Amino acid sequence: MTYEVKIAKRNLSINLTHHSYIDLGIFNVNATTHSFLYPALKTDWGCDINETDLEFEVNGKRCKYVGFMELYTQLHGDKSFRDFERDLFTQIEEVVAKQIVKEYPGTAITNL
């Protein structure tokens, strides 16, 4: 039997993923930022930056997150990695937000 299917409503939303890279000399940071773009009421688009994942490389080789955190802490002291990571998230997500607004003019970025 064939049924007549009718679309009752359509919601438009876009999942975005941005990959970024920071060269810090002997080590590098690779970041993947996930965000959600949706039609908004007061602006053309709204966007939530949901999550940024970090990977670290030392001398071009990927290393374990916990190992890098311990090395960084040993080199720079207690709570230094927490501050370093927070600064990375802030700067990466600001760059991603600017890119999203450039690609989708009229976008209001939330949670920054």
C-alpha–C-alpha distance, residues 88 and 41, integer Å: 31
9 lies in some domain: no
33 lies in some domain: yes
The domain in which residue 77 lies consists of: 14-110
1 lies in some domain: no
65 lies in some domain: yes
pLDDT tens column, 59-107: 989 999 999 999 999 999 999 999 999 999 999 999 999 999 999 998 9
pTM of the model: 0.85
Mean pLDDT of the chain: 93
Tokens 């940071």 map to which residue? 29
Residues 6+ apart with CB under 8 A from 110: 46, 47, 48
Torsion from C-alpha of 105, 52, 10, 4, nearest 10 degrees? 150
7 lies in some domain: no
Helix (H, G, I), strand (E, B) or coil at 67: helix
48 lies in some domain: yes
Q: How far is the first Cα of the chain from the last one, in angstroms, to the nearest whole number?
A: 51
The structural domain count of the chain equals: 1
38 lies in some domain: yes
55 lies in some domain: yes
